[in-house]
Homo-oligomer: A and B are copies of this chain.
Amino acid sequence: MTVAFQSWASAHQQRFEEVLRHLLPQPDTVPQRLHQAMRYAVLDGGKRVRPLLAFAAGELVGADLARLNYAAAAVELIHAYSLVHDDMPCMDDDVLRRGKPTCHVQYDEATALLVGDSLQTLAFHLLTDSALSVRPAQQVEMVRLLAQASGSRGMAGGQAIDLASVGKQLSLPELEFMHIHKTGALIRAAILLGVQCAEPLAAAQLARLDHYGKCVGLAFQVVDDVLDAEADTATLGKTAGKDADNDKPTYVTLLGLQAAKTMAAELHDEALRSLAEFGERAQRLRELADFIVLRKF
Protein backbone atom coordinates (compact mmCIF):
# COMPACT_ATOMS: atom_id res chain seq x y z
CA MET A 1 0.00 0.00 0.00
CA THR A 2 1.66 3.23 -1.10
CA VAL A 3 1.27 6.45 0.81
CA ALA A 4 -0.29 8.04 -2.28
CA PHE A 5 -2.95 5.32 -2.40
CA GLN A 6 -3.69 5.55 1.29
CA SER A 7 -4.12 9.26 1.06
CA TRP A 8 -6.31 8.90 -2.08
CA ALA A 9 -8.50 6.28 -0.38
CA SER A 10 -8.76 8.19 2.84
CA ALA A 11 -9.70 11.44 1.11
CA HIS A 12 -12.42 9.65 -0.87
CA GLN A 13 -13.72 7.85 2.21
CA GLN A 14 -14.05 11.07 4.17
CA ARG A 15 -15.57 13.00 1.30
CA PHE A 16 -17.96 10.16 0.50
CA GLU A 17 -19.20 10.07 4.09
CA GLU A 18 -20.41 13.64 3.61
CA VAL A 19 -22.01 12.68 0.31
CA LEU A 20 -23.96 9.91 2.04
CA ARG A 21 -24.98 12.23 4.88
CA HIS A 22 -26.40 14.57 2.29
CA LEU A 23 -28.12 11.96 0.08
CA LEU A 24 -29.79 9.98 2.87
CA PRO A 25 -33.13 11.32 4.16
CA GLN A 26 -32.51 13.81 6.96
CA PRO A 27 -33.19 12.59 10.51
CA ASP A 28 -35.95 15.16 11.12
CA THR A 29 -37.93 14.14 8.01
CA VAL A 30 -41.12 12.12 8.70
CA PRO A 31 -41.08 9.22 9.47
CA GLN A 32 -38.15 10.24 11.67
CA ARG A 33 -37.45 6.91 13.31
CA LEU A 34 -37.18 5.13 9.96
CA HIS A 35 -34.90 7.83 8.56
CA GLN A 36 -32.72 7.84 11.67
CA ALA A 37 -32.41 4.06 11.41
CA MET A 38 -31.49 4.29 7.71
CA ARG A 39 -28.70 6.72 8.60
CA TYR A 40 -27.58 4.51 11.49
CA ALA A 41 -27.26 1.54 9.12
CA VAL A 42 -25.25 3.38 6.49
CA LEU A 43 -23.12 6.10 8.08
CA ASP A 44 -19.80 5.69 9.91
CA GLY A 45 -19.33 2.20 8.62
CA GLY A 46 -17.03 0.01 6.63
CA LYS A 47 -14.11 0.41 4.30
CA ARG A 48 -16.36 1.55 1.42
CA VAL A 49 -14.61 -0.88 -0.94
CA ARG A 50 -17.37 -0.72 -3.55
CA PRO A 51 -17.46 3.09 -3.71
CA LEU A 52 -13.64 3.16 -3.96
CA LEU A 53 -13.84 0.76 -6.90
CA ALA A 54 -16.44 2.99 -8.56
CA PHE A 55 -14.29 6.08 -8.01
CA ALA A 56 -11.15 4.37 -9.31
CA ALA A 57 -12.93 2.99 -12.39
CA GLY A 58 -14.54 6.37 -12.98
CA GLU A 59 -11.20 8.17 -12.72
CA LEU A 60 -9.72 5.73 -15.24
CA VAL A 61 -12.31 6.75 -17.83
CA GLY A 62 -12.33 10.44 -16.89
CA ALA A 63 -15.81 10.50 -15.33
CA ASP A 64 -17.21 13.52 -13.55
CA LEU A 65 -16.99 13.27 -9.74
CA ALA A 66 -20.53 14.59 -9.15
CA ARG A 67 -21.89 11.71 -11.23
CA LEU A 68 -19.60 9.18 -9.59
CA ASN A 69 -20.93 10.17 -6.18
CA TYR A 70 -24.42 9.04 -7.18
CA ALA A 71 -23.23 5.80 -8.76
CA ALA A 72 -21.05 4.95 -5.76
CA ALA A 73 -23.82 5.80 -3.31
CA ALA A 74 -26.32 3.63 -5.17
CA VAL A 75 -24.01 0.62 -4.96
CA GLU A 76 -23.17 1.25 -1.31
CA LEU A 77 -26.84 1.55 -0.35
CA ILE A 78 -27.56 -1.83 -1.94
CA HIS A 79 -24.66 -3.26 0.06
CA ALA A 80 -25.92 -1.61 3.25
CA TYR A 81 -29.48 -2.87 2.75
CA SER A 82 -28.17 -6.42 2.27
CA LEU A 83 -26.23 -6.23 5.54
CA VAL A 84 -29.27 -5.01 7.49
CA HIS A 85 -31.45 -7.83 6.17
CA ASP A 86 -28.73 -10.49 6.42
CA ASP A 87 -28.19 -9.62 10.09
CA MET A 88 -31.86 -10.17 10.99
CA PRO A 89 -32.82 -13.09 13.27
CA CYS A 90 -34.42 -15.08 10.43
CA MET A 91 -31.16 -14.89 8.45
CA ASP A 92 -27.71 -14.80 10.09
CA ASP A 93 -28.99 -13.44 13.43
CA ASP A 94 -26.01 -11.18 14.10
CA VAL A 95 -26.06 -8.67 16.94
CA LEU A 96 -22.89 -6.74 16.10
CA ARG A 97 -21.83 -5.10 12.86
CA ARG A 98 -18.75 -2.89 12.58
CA GLY A 99 -18.57 -2.74 16.35
CA LYS A 100 -22.09 -1.39 16.78
CA PRO A 101 -25.37 -3.18 17.57
CA THR A 102 -27.02 -4.32 14.35
CA CYS A 103 -30.00 -2.31 13.09
CA HIS A 104 -32.70 -4.65 14.42
CA VAL A 105 -30.99 -4.69 17.84
CA GLN A 106 -30.58 -0.92 18.01
CA TYR A 107 -34.13 -0.30 16.72
CA ASP A 108 -36.45 -3.29 16.18
CA GLU A 109 -37.04 -5.96 13.57
CA ALA A 110 -39.90 -4.23 11.79
CA THR A 111 -37.84 -1.06 11.47
CA ALA A 112 -34.82 -3.02 10.21
CA LEU A 113 -36.98 -4.68 7.58
CA LEU A 114 -38.25 -1.28 6.37
CA VAL A 115 -34.72 0.18 6.55
CA GLY A 116 -33.43 -2.48 4.16
CA ASP A 117 -36.42 -2.07 1.86
CA SER A 118 -36.08 1.71 1.82
CA LEU A 119 -32.31 1.70 1.27
CA GLN A 120 -32.78 -0.50 -1.76
CA THR A 121 -35.43 1.87 -3.16
CA LEU A 122 -33.21 4.87 -2.47
CA ALA A 123 -30.35 3.24 -4.39
CA PHE A 124 -32.45 3.12 -7.56
CA HIS A 125 -33.89 6.56 -6.84
CA LEU A 126 -30.39 8.08 -6.73
CA LEU A 127 -29.66 6.77 -10.22
CA THR A 128 -32.50 8.92 -11.57
CA ASP A 129 -30.96 12.10 -10.20
CA SER A 130 -30.50 15.01 -12.56
CA ALA A 131 -26.74 14.92 -11.84
CA LEU A 132 -26.71 11.91 -14.16
CA SER A 133 -29.39 13.05 -16.58
CA VAL A 134 -27.20 14.25 -19.42
CA ARG A 135 -27.12 10.67 -20.66
CA PRO A 136 -30.52 9.06 -19.98
CA ALA A 137 -29.67 5.88 -21.92
CA GLN A 138 -26.64 5.37 -19.69
CA GLN A 139 -28.78 6.09 -16.63
CA VAL A 140 -31.12 3.31 -17.69
CA GLU A 141 -28.11 1.05 -18.20
CA MET A 142 -26.92 1.84 -14.66
CA VAL A 143 -30.32 0.89 -13.22
CA ARG A 144 -30.20 -2.31 -15.28
CA LEU A 145 -26.68 -3.21 -14.12
CA LEU A 146 -27.48 -2.52 -10.48
CA ALA A 147 -30.74 -4.50 -10.60
CA GLN A 148 -29.11 -7.42 -12.34
CA ALA A 149 -26.29 -7.50 -9.80
CA SER A 150 -28.50 -7.30 -6.74
CA GLY A 151 -31.62 -9.33 -7.57
CA SER A 152 -32.50 -13.01 -7.40
CA ARG A 153 -30.02 -13.79 -10.17
CA GLY A 154 -27.36 -11.75 -8.37
CA MET A 155 -26.67 -10.85 -4.74
CA ALA A 156 -30.04 -11.91 -3.24
CA GLY A 157 -29.86 -15.20 -5.16
CA GLY A 158 -26.36 -15.78 -3.76
CA GLN A 159 -27.68 -15.21 -0.25
CA ALA A 160 -30.45 -17.76 -0.89
CA ILE A 161 -27.85 -20.31 -2.02
CA ASP A 162 -25.72 -19.49 1.01
CA LEU A 163 -28.64 -20.13 3.40
CA ALA A 164 -29.44 -23.39 1.65
CA SER A 165 -25.79 -24.52 1.83
CA VAL A 166 -25.51 -24.63 5.62
CA GLY A 167 -24.62 -28.16 6.64
CA LYS A 168 -24.12 -29.27 3.04
CA GLN A 169 -20.98 -30.32 1.22
CA LEU A 170 -20.56 -27.99 -1.76
CA SER A 171 -18.22 -28.64 -4.66
CA LEU A 172 -15.71 -25.93 -5.59
CA PRO A 173 -17.79 -24.86 -8.63
CA GLU A 174 -20.89 -24.63 -6.42
CA LEU A 175 -19.04 -22.52 -3.84
CA GLU A 176 -17.74 -20.28 -6.60
CA PHE A 177 -21.22 -19.95 -8.12
CA MET A 178 -22.53 -18.83 -4.73
CA HIS A 179 -19.85 -16.19 -4.16
CA ILE A 180 -19.92 -14.88 -7.72
CA HIS A 181 -23.55 -14.04 -6.97
CA LYS A 182 -23.48 -13.12 -3.29
CA THR A 183 -20.42 -10.83 -3.26
CA GLY A 184 -18.96 -10.74 -6.74
CA ALA A 185 -21.91 -9.37 -8.66
CA LEU A 186 -22.14 -6.12 -6.70
CA ILE A 187 -18.38 -5.57 -6.79
CA ARG A 188 -18.45 -5.91 -10.57
CA ALA A 189 -21.43 -3.56 -10.70
CA ALA A 190 -19.49 -0.93 -8.72
CA ILE A 191 -16.85 -0.85 -11.44
CA LEU A 192 -19.32 -0.91 -14.33
CA LEU A 193 -21.42 1.89 -12.82
CA GLY A 194 -18.28 4.00 -12.38
CA VAL A 195 -17.48 3.46 -16.04
CA GLN A 196 -21.02 4.41 -17.10
CA CYS A 197 -20.49 7.88 -15.64
CA ALA A 198 -18.28 8.84 -18.59
CA GLU A 199 -18.51 8.56 -22.39
CA PRO A 200 -19.36 5.02 -23.49
CA LEU A 201 -16.28 2.79 -23.46
CA ALA A 202 -15.23 0.41 -26.26
CA ALA A 203 -16.66 -3.07 -25.67
CA ALA A 204 -13.24 -4.76 -25.44
CA GLN A 205 -12.05 -2.31 -22.77
CA LEU A 206 -15.28 -2.69 -20.86
CA ALA A 207 -14.86 -6.46 -20.93
CA ARG A 208 -11.34 -6.16 -19.45
CA LEU A 209 -12.54 -3.96 -16.61
CA ASP A 210 -15.41 -6.35 -16.02
CA HIS A 211 -12.97 -9.24 -15.86
CA TYR A 212 -10.88 -7.30 -13.35
CA GLY A 213 -14.05 -6.87 -11.29
CA LYS A 214 -14.84 -10.56 -11.48
CA CYS A 215 -11.34 -11.45 -10.25
CA VAL A 216 -11.23 -9.00 -7.34
CA GLY A 217 -14.82 -9.89 -6.40
CA LEU A 218 -13.92 -13.55 -6.02
CA ALA A 219 -10.55 -12.76 -4.42
CA PHE A 220 -12.38 -10.64 -1.86
CA GLN A 221 -14.33 -13.69 -0.70
CA VAL A 222 -11.36 -16.08 -0.73
CA VAL A 223 -9.39 -13.62 1.41
CA ASP A 224 -12.39 -13.30 3.74
CA ASP A 225 -12.37 -17.05 4.26
CA VAL A 226 -8.60 -17.09 4.85
CA LEU A 227 -8.80 -14.24 7.37
CA ASP A 228 -11.72 -15.92 9.14
CA ALA A 229 -9.81 -19.20 9.43
CA GLU A 230 -6.53 -17.61 10.55
CA ALA A 231 -8.10 -15.24 13.04
CA ASP A 232 -9.84 -18.05 14.80
CA THR A 233 -6.92 -20.45 14.65
CA ALA A 234 -4.92 -17.80 16.47
CA THR A 235 -7.63 -17.57 19.12
CA LEU A 236 -6.92 -19.80 22.06
CA GLY A 237 -9.23 -22.76 22.35
CA LYS A 238 -10.68 -22.55 18.88
CA THR A 239 -9.25 -24.52 16.01
CA ALA A 240 -11.58 -23.58 13.23
CA GLY A 241 -13.14 -20.33 11.99
CA LYS A 242 -16.61 -18.98 12.56
CA ASP A 243 -17.83 -20.23 9.19
CA ALA A 244 -16.58 -23.74 9.87
CA ASP A 245 -18.30 -23.60 13.28
CA ASN A 246 -21.48 -22.58 11.52
CA ASP A 247 -21.00 -25.54 9.23
CA LYS A 248 -20.69 -23.24 6.23
CA PRO A 249 -18.50 -24.35 3.34
CA THR A 250 -15.56 -21.99 2.66
CA TYR A 251 -12.56 -21.93 0.35
CA VAL A 252 -10.43 -22.92 3.31
CA THR A 253 -12.55 -25.92 4.28
CA LEU A 254 -12.72 -27.04 0.65
CA LEU A 255 -9.18 -26.32 -0.52
CA GLY A 256 -7.15 -26.04 2.68
CA LEU A 257 -5.50 -22.85 3.90
CA GLN A 258 -2.45 -22.91 1.65
CA ALA A 259 -4.34 -23.60 -1.57
CA ALA A 260 -6.86 -20.88 -0.70
CA LYS A 261 -3.99 -18.40 -0.31
CA THR A 262 -2.57 -19.49 -3.65
CA MET A 263 -5.98 -19.03 -5.28
CA ALA A 264 -6.22 -15.47 -3.89
CA ALA A 265 -2.75 -14.68 -5.24
CA GLU A 266 -3.65 -16.06 -8.68
CA LEU A 267 -6.86 -14.04 -8.82
CA HIS A 268 -4.85 -10.96 -7.82
CA ASP A 269 -2.39 -11.55 -10.67
CA GLU A 270 -5.16 -12.10 -13.17
CA ALA A 271 -6.89 -8.92 -12.04
CA LEU A 272 -3.66 -6.98 -12.66
CA ARG A 273 -3.18 -8.56 -16.10
CA SER A 274 -6.66 -7.35 -17.11
CA LEU A 275 -5.50 -3.79 -16.45
CA ALA A 276 -2.26 -3.96 -18.46
CA GLU A 277 -3.44 -1.99 -21.48
CA PHE A 278 -4.68 0.93 -19.37
CA GLY A 279 -1.18 1.86 -18.13
CA GLU A 280 -0.89 4.54 -15.49
CA ARG A 281 -4.59 5.40 -15.59
CA ALA A 282 -5.39 2.09 -13.89
CA GLN A 283 -2.99 2.63 -10.99
CA ARG A 284 -5.76 3.10 -8.40
CA LEU A 285 -7.53 -0.06 -9.54
CA ARG A 286 -4.22 -1.97 -9.22
CA GLU A 287 -3.75 -0.64 -5.73
CA LEU A 288 -7.33 -1.57 -4.86
CA ALA A 289 -6.61 -5.13 -5.97
CA ASP A 290 -3.59 -5.09 -3.62
CA PHE A 291 -5.76 -3.62 -0.88
CA ILE A 292 -8.43 -6.31 -1.28
CA VAL A 293 -6.03 -9.24 -1.42
CA LEU A 294 -3.33 -8.12 1.01
CA ARG A 295 -5.64 -6.73 3.73
CA LYS A 296 -5.32 -8.14 7.22
CA PHE A 297 -8.85 -7.41 8.48
B-facing residues in A106-120 (Cβ within 8 Å): 108-111, 113-114, 116-118, 120
What is the CA–CA distance of A152 and B111 in the complex, to the nearest angstrom? 11
Q: Find the residue from A144, A150, A156 having the highest chain B CB count within 10 A.
A: A156
A156-184 CB contact bits vs B (8 Å, 1 = yes)?
11011101100000000000010000000
Contact call B30/A161, Cβ cutoff below 8 A: yes
Contact call B157/A143, Cβ cutoff below 8 A: no
Nearest B residue (CB) for A125: B147
Could you tell me the dominant secondary structure of chain A's interface residues?
helix
**Which B residues lie within 8 Å of A141 (CB)?**
128
- Do A91 and B117 form a contact, CB below 8 Å, given A151-B125, A152-B35? no
What is the CA–CA distance of A141 and B130 in the complex, to the nearest angstrom? 10
A256 within 8 A of B: no
Contact call A148/B125, Cβ cutoff below 8 A: yes
A188 within 8 A of B: no
A21 within 8 A of B: no
Specify which of B91, B110, B140, B164 is in contact with A133 (CB 8 Å cutoff).
Answer: B140
A85 within 8 A of B: yes
- Do A90 and B113 form a contact, CB below 8 Å, given A31-B152, A139-B140, A161-B30? yes
**Distance in Å: Cβ of A28 to nearest Cβ of chain B:** 13
What is the CA–CA distance of A164 and B114 in the complex, to the nearest angstrom? 12
- Do A147 and B133 form a contact, CB below 8 Å, given A30-B161, A33-B160, A117-B156? no
A136 within 8 A of B: yes
A127 within 8 A of B: yes
Contact call A157/B124, Cβ cutoff below 8 A: no
Contact call B140/A113, Cβ cutoff below 8 A: no
**Which B residues lie within 8 Å of A109 (CB)?**
90
A195 within 8 A of B: no
**Which B residues lie within 8 Å of A108 (CB)?**
90
What is the CA–CA distance of A141 and B129 in the complex, to the nearest angstrom? 10
- What are the 8 closest A-B residue pairs judged by CB atoms, nearest first? A90-B109, A125-B147, A121-B151, A128-B144, A118-B152, A136-B136, A34-B160, A136-B137
Given contacts A31-B161, A125-B148, 18 further A-B contacts (CB under 8 A): A30-B161, A31-B157, A31-B164, A90-B109, A90-B110, A90-B113, A114-B159, A116-B117, A117-B120, A120-B121, A121-B147, A122-B147, A122-B152, A125-B147, A125-B151, A128-B143, A133-B137, A139-B140
